Structure 1
Amino acid sequence: MKKPWQIWTLFCVCLLAIVIAMSWLSLKTIRLDGLRESDRAETEMARREAELQERISSALYRMDLKMLPLVIHEAARPPYFYRFPSEIHSPSANLVLLRFQIDAQNNISSPDSMRQQTLSQIQLADQAFDYQTLLRQSTEMDHAEPNNSLATSAPPLNYDNKIDAQLSRGTKRVNEDYSQRRLSTLELTQQSLLNNSLSYGLQMTENNTPLPTKSNALQAVPMQPTWMNGKLIFVRRVDDENGMVFQCCWLNWQEIEHELQNEVAELLPNVQFEAITPNTQLKIGTALTTIPVQLVIDRPAMLARLAMDLPATARSSAFSISLLAAWCCLGLAALASALLLRGVLRLSERRAAFVSAVTHELRTPLTTFRMYSEMLADGMVPPEKSKQYANTLKVQADRLSHLVENVLLFAKLERSSARIHSETVTVEGLISRFSCRLMERADDSQMRLVIEVPPSVAIVPLSTQPAVIEQILFNLVDNACKYAQSSADNRIILSVGPAANRIQFRVQDFGPGITSVDRKRLYEPFHQSRTAKANAVAGVGLGLALCDRMAKSIAGRLFDKDCSTGAVFILELPSG
């Protein structure tokens, strides 16, 4: 049989190997889960980006559609319209502050002269606009190269390949959409301008208004939206017989901004606008085609609003719980295995100790029997010593009988199969049954048994099992004879007394007593104290363990008590 430390070493090595393997699997699983979560996060972010771009495209389409009637009515008005006062019927009258024409001397005239607020608006326009600034901006617009591509204005996002690919596809789609919307707006404006020119010419003919001759006819060019001094206007340059003039339509930007925000409130809450000027940095897919403005969007906030990844936390929590449960199961399995191994080793040690102790205890009586029987058979014993040899054989027989009885009774108690008849007997009657046996055991060890039973206690009835009590007290007296045999005081005191509706049987000797180390394992089977091992005291270490189990079998308890000299054991039983 291997030694316990070897078995424990092998167990620890196996457990360490399992822990290392489990750790490796856990790290791999965590790493794979991290990659999966990273891929899921990339996919989710790409989905949000795509959805946000779809919302922006839808919002731009709505806003351009909202502004298109204004562009068609205002930017496509023929040049003749600005030469004569007229009553203007427009579906978006609240979006226009003033229509006016300005010449090189900064003289402003307006076809809106029939409106009451025109004079005040003309005064404001005279302060806000001047001919030279319009000329400079018009020249810059003429020399500016058309560029409908917004790919260079992508926001500085640093995601992985999946999102980069999504952004690349989105940029291409946005550029195509922007170009298509821009071209459609220009075509509609040009067509509307031609229709308006024809309609306006017919109206002038009906009103007997002289039409311009071919020599002084004005070129029909659509008005272009632009910003000047923070004011949004439609403007075009017109050459007539009096020189070059600028025809402008001053728009009410505050009202336009409010209507556009309301139009896309469910798509882009809290959207803001930024004027597009030559110094403005364009942003991908955010510019309108009808007016020079682009959207200002809080992308992080919008991406957060579009999050639909609520189960991710649950998945992460479930994974953590599963991993923790696996480690807990491993810990419980290791603990259970350790406890089982400890129990098996202790059982093996107890079995080995039992075999060793019983073998040792059996060897002495058997050797004595064999030697004395051979001597008696061979006539080697003188007649006068025959009685002495017979007494020795009797003592060894009693010793062997007591050993076998203890072992068998302990085995029965371990299997819970010991069934002894209960009866009611007084304390005095109980003591009288086995007092002779106890005194005989004490006399064999040259000890003196003193029995103290007060008269008031002697008549107390007990409903118990006398045979069990006899065996317990005999074992206690037997231990006292073994351990206190060499003490100066050879008394063993067996006293009986009351204790709170219970009866206590107290066995006291005046030997070396019980050390604090031995007291911890005092009632363990097959355990012998250091004193017993040092003095080679006979026994297998079953006495106190057997007494403790027998006491519990009759609803009592056995315990020891500190004493200045010797050892004191108390058997406590219920009275009545």
Structure 2
Amino acid sequence: MIRSWRIWIAVSACLCLALAGVVALSAFALRLDRADRQARESAAREENARLALWRLDSDLLPLVARESAVAPEAYRPVSAARGVLDSKLRPMPQGEALLASPLLSPLPEHVLLHFQVASDGTVSSPQVVGPGLRESVGATLPASELATLEARLGKLRGLLGGTDLRRALSDPPPRVRRPEPKVRYESTLAEVSQVAKNVSEFSARSRSASQALRGMSGSNSNAYEDNDQRAPVRSQQGDGDAMRALWVGDTLLLARRVWLDGREYIQGCWLDWPSLRTWLVGQLGDLLPSATLEPVAGRPTHAEDRMLAALPVRLVPGQVPGGYDTASISSLPVVLTVAWSGVLLAGAAVVALLVGVVALSERRGAFVSAVTHELRTPLTTFRMYTEMLAAGMVPDEARRQEYFDILHREAERLSHLVENVLAYARIERGRAPARLEPVDVRSMVGRMEERLAQRAAQADMELCVDVPAGVTVLTDPSAVEQVLFNLVDNASKYAAPAVDRRIHVEVERRRGRVGLVVRDHGPGVDTVTARRLFEPFSKSVQTAAKTAPGVGLGLALCRRLARSMKADLRHERVTEGGARFVLWLPH
């Protein structure tokens, strides 16, 4: 018999190794998939951030260019007009014709106040003038707005009182610089590449903004001119720097250094940062809906800060839009689920196959032992009786005839055993096709009744046949005879101790089917045995020694024979005791 525990240990070890390998591969694949998904989300976020920075700088460029295009003389309420002719087309002396500042007109969007800082620190605004001047130039404003402008100028004077704007404008603007390598040992190739892209993008946006501002500043157009007046045109007397954004506390200013009449001034405007930030964030709703803008005040800026080129402001992208999350959904979990299902099914199939093979091997081992036991008894009888008869030790004729009858019975028993084994082997190999033909049940049973009665008589039992005439079935008569003989043989062996010595062979009709019934009045079949009743090789040598002779193959052979001719063999419980088997035949 096979040592099944060794097989189970080996198979369990192989399955554990296979599962460990699959688990490791699954974990590795999930890590790669998670890294790939994060990389795609990061790439989507960076691409959106890049587009958002270009969009913001493009939206801010007109505002900065508009303020840069204002002539330095426009920061005075009135200035001397140049190139003015009188009615006789003669040039008027400089200083006789004056021109009102275009900044007296209503403030543009996102600008709170224009201002000018003299070299002595005096802060003035072209918007804060006497009401008479506004009336003379037709730029009157409501008293509430004038009061607001004066309040803003007062606040700005207090803010600039402790700030050195000249030094702030002289310092270089914050620039995006590469991070120190010693701080970023953990950087991946993708992160280093993204840093380089951020630096390159910022440089490109800065160059684009500078070129646009130089072009706009060199033109003679003015954003504040209207149909009634023109702003003073830039002249050699009013040279200066371009507008530059800087933070003074939490106040955002656009300022520049200019020279007028040989004196240095600082001119600029006070931007409405809350409204400007709201407007800029609103421009990014389709790219970065959760983005925010944060001030960057005079500190070194790393490439990850995503600086704007037009303003010292940093873009914080926030989360990417939901569309990228759904687009980046991976199919790997589904693939792994299918793969794991296949692995588990394969493992279950291997275990089931192994269970069947081990069980079959054990049953065949038990069968060999049972056959050996069954053969030993008749062979011992053959040897003993033949030796006695050959040696002339049985002079009595009646005793010799009795010994011959015993030898004949044992020979038939061996023949029946060998016939069952060979028939089962033929069915297992598929070499026993049934030949079905219409047969009258009464005549078929009548032909085999004598043989069945002899087998019952050998066990001192009586065969009672009750088969009505006129019942026809489609079957193989030889197969039916073998099934009935095995059933009667079992009844003769297992019902031998019964008081009622009858074995019944009857016909039963149920639901359009015809059944041949073989029943006895013996002890019947218990529940445990009934579960394995039709399994081949189910009787061990210990069971064979304790029960009636046999190797546990007869009923398995009978069911296989029945199903080979499209019939079926069933065991049915009866309340009055005994065993009852029904061979259901096609009608």
What's the offset of the Cα at 1:342? Answer: 2.3
TM-score by length of structure 1 reads 0.72
Matched, 1:542 2:553: yes
Structure 1 residues 425 and 179, CA, compared in 2 at 3 Å: closer, same or farther?
A: closer
Report if aligned partners of 1:50, 1:166 keep a CA contact under 8 Å in 2.
Answer: no
Q: 1:76·1:222 contact (CA, 8 Å) conserved in 2?
A: no
Report how far residue 536 of structure 1 moved: 3.7
Could you report, residue by residue, the CA deviation over 1:489-532 in whole angstroms, capped at 9, with x for unpaired residues?
22222222333333222222122211100000101112239996
Q: Is the 8 A contact 2:466 2:506 kept in 1?
A: yes
CA displacement at 1:89 relative to structure 2: 8.5
Q: State the match for 2:130 in structure 1.
A: 108
When the two structures are superposed, what TM-score results if normalisation uses the length of structure 2? 0.71
Partner of 2:8: 8
> Secondary structure of 1:120's partner?
coil
1:426 aligned partner, one-letter code:
D
| Alignment partners' CA distance in 2, 1:18 and 1:273 | 51
Q: 2:520 aligns with which of 496, 499, 509?
A: 509
Counterpart Cα distance in 2 of 1:272 and 1:350: 75
Residue type matched to 2:15 in 1? L
CA 1:109 to 1:550, structure 2 compared with 1: closer, same or farther past 3 Å? same
8 Å Cα contact 1:510-1:565 kept in structure 2: yes
Per-residue CA deviation, residues 143-166 of structure 1 (Å, 9 max, x unaligned), is: 543234335999xxx997354784
% identity of equivalent residues: 29
Residue-by-residue CA offset, 1:528-559 (whole Å, 9 max, x unaligned): 39996463411111111111122222332211
CA contact (8 A) 2:438 2:472 kept: yes
Letter in 2 for 1:450: C
Root-mean-square deviation over aligned CA pairs:
5.3
Match of 1:377 in 2: 390
Aligned equivalent of 2:329: 313
| Pairing of 1:303-382 with structure 2 (within 5 A) | 304-305=320-321, 312-314=328-330, 317-318=331-332, 320-382=333-395
Q: CA shift at 1:471, angstroms? A: 1.6
SS at match of 2:552: coil
Give the conservation status (yes or no) of the 8 Å contact 2:48–2:287. Answer: no
SS at match of 1:513: coil
- How far apart in 2 are the matches of 1:273 and 1:444? 104
| 1:219/1:270 CA distance change after superposition, 3 Å | farther
Greater mean deviation of Cα atoms: 27-36 or 468-477: 27-36
CA distance in 1, matches of 2:21, 2:487: 55
The 3 A distance-change label for structure 1 pair 368 and 294 is same
Q: 1:74 to 1:541 in 2, by over 3 A?
A: same
For 1:129, give the aligned amino acid. Answer: E
- In the TM superposition, residue 110 of structure 1 has moved relative to its aligned partner by 7.8
Mapped to 2, the partners of 1:412 and 1:103 lie a distance apart of: 116
Q: CA 1:405–1:79 in 2, change beyond 3 Å: closer, same or farther?
A: closer
1:300 matched to 2:318? The reply is yes
Letter in 1 for 2:549: A
User: What's the offset of the Cα at 1:310?
Assistant: 6.3
Give the aligned length.
529
In structure 1, the partner of 2:577 is 565
Aligned counterparts of 2:220 and 2:239: Cα–Cα separation in 1: 11
SS of corresponding position for 1:119: coil
Q: In the TM superposition, what is the alpha-carbon distance from 1:444 to its structure 2 partner?
A: 0.9
Correspondence for 2:146: 125
Are residues 89 and 400 of structure 1, via their aligned partners in 2, closer, same or farther at CA, if it must alter by over 3 Å?
A: same
Comparing 409-418 with 264-273, greater Cα deviation is found at: 264-273
Q: Which one-letter code corresponds to 2:329 in the other structure?
A: T
Give deviations 1:248-278, integer Å, cap 9, x for gaps: 9999979x96998699779988999999999
Q: 1:385 aligns to what SS in structure 2?
A: helix
Q: Is the 8 Å Cα contact of residues 271 and 296 (structure 1) preserved in structure 2? A: no
Q: Of residues 459, 477, 493 in structure 1, which corresponds to 2:504?
A: 493
Separation in 2, partners of 1:462, 1:175: 99
Aligned mates of 2:447, 2:211 — CA distance in 1: 124
Give ranges in structure 1 of 5+ residues lacking alignment. Answer: 194-202, 205-217
2:550 aligns to what SS in structure 1? coil
Q: Distance in 1 between matches of 2:450 and 2:541?
A: 31
**Inter-CA distance 185–549: structure 2 relative to 1 (3 Å threshold):** closer
**In structure 1, C-alpha distance between the alignment counterparts of 2:345 and 2:290, rounded to whole Å:** 58
Which structure has the highest helix share of the two? Answer: 1
SS at match of 1:129: helix
Cα offset, 1:435, TM superposition: 1.5
Partner Cα distance (1:458, 1:529) in 2:
42
Kindly state the Cα deviation for residue 331 of structure 1 after the two structures are TM-superposed.
2.1
Q: 2:473 & 2:300 partners in 1: Cα distance?
A: 106
Per-residue deviation at 1:66? 5.3
Q: Which residue of 2 aligns with 1:199?
A: none
Q: 1:111-134: CA deviations, max 9, x gaps?
A: 765654x12368843652278767
**Worse-superposed segment, 340-349 or 45-54:** 45-54
Deviations 1:450-489 (A, max 9, x none): 2233xxx223233433222222111111111111112222
In structure 2, the residue matched to 1:465 is 476
d(CA) in 2 for partners of 1:435, 1:424: 19
Residue of structure 2 aligned with 1:444, choices 458, 465, 489: 458
Q: Counterparts in 2 of 1:179-190, with a 5 A limit? A: none
Alignment of 1:414-453 (within 5 A): 414-419=428-433, 421-453=435-467
Q: Verify the 8 A CA contact 2:284 2:291 in the aligned structure 1.
A: no
Letter in 2 for 1:4: S
Q: Which moved more, 1:463-472 or 1:267-276?
A: 267-276
Structure 1 CA distance, aligned partners of 2:355 and 2:251? 89
For residues 353-407 of structure 1, the C-alpha deviation after alignment (integer angstroms, 9 at most, x for no partner) is: 3322322323333333333333333322222322212212221222122122222
Contact 2:461–2:492 under 8 Å retained in 1: yes
Q: Given the superposition, is the C-alpha separation of residues 189 and 76 from structure 1 closer, same or farther in structure 2, using an over 3 Å criterion? A: farther
Change in Cα spacing, 1:111 to 1:263, as seen in structure 2 (3 Å) is: farther
Q: Does the CA-based 8 Å contact 2:495-2:520 persist in structure 1?
A: yes
User: How many angstroms apart in 1 are the aligned matches of 2:488 and 2:143?
Assistant: 130
Instruction: Give 1:79 shift.
Output: 5.6
Question: Residues 240-279 of structure 1 correspond to what in structure 2 (within 5 A)?
Answer: none
Q: Which runs of 5+ in 2 are unaligned?
A: 81-96, 117-123, 222-230
CA 1:64–1:420: 2 relative to 1, 3 Å: closer
Q: Hey, what does 1:59 align to over in structure 2? A: 56
Aligned CA distance change for structure 1 residues 450 and 257 (closer, same or farther; 3 Å): closer
Does the CA-based 8 Å contact 2:281-2:292 persist in structure 1?
no
**What residue in structure 1 maps to residue 90 of structure 2?**
none
In the alignment, structure 1 residue 390 sits paired with structure 2 residue 404: yes
C-alpha change, 1:279 and 1:124, in structure 2 (3 Å) is: farther
Take 2:401 and 2:443, find their aligned partners in 1: how far apart are those partners? Answer: 34
Summarize the Cα distance change of 1:311–1:234 in structure 2 as closer, same or farther, 3 Å threshold.
closer
Residue 150 (1) aligns with residue 174 (2): yes
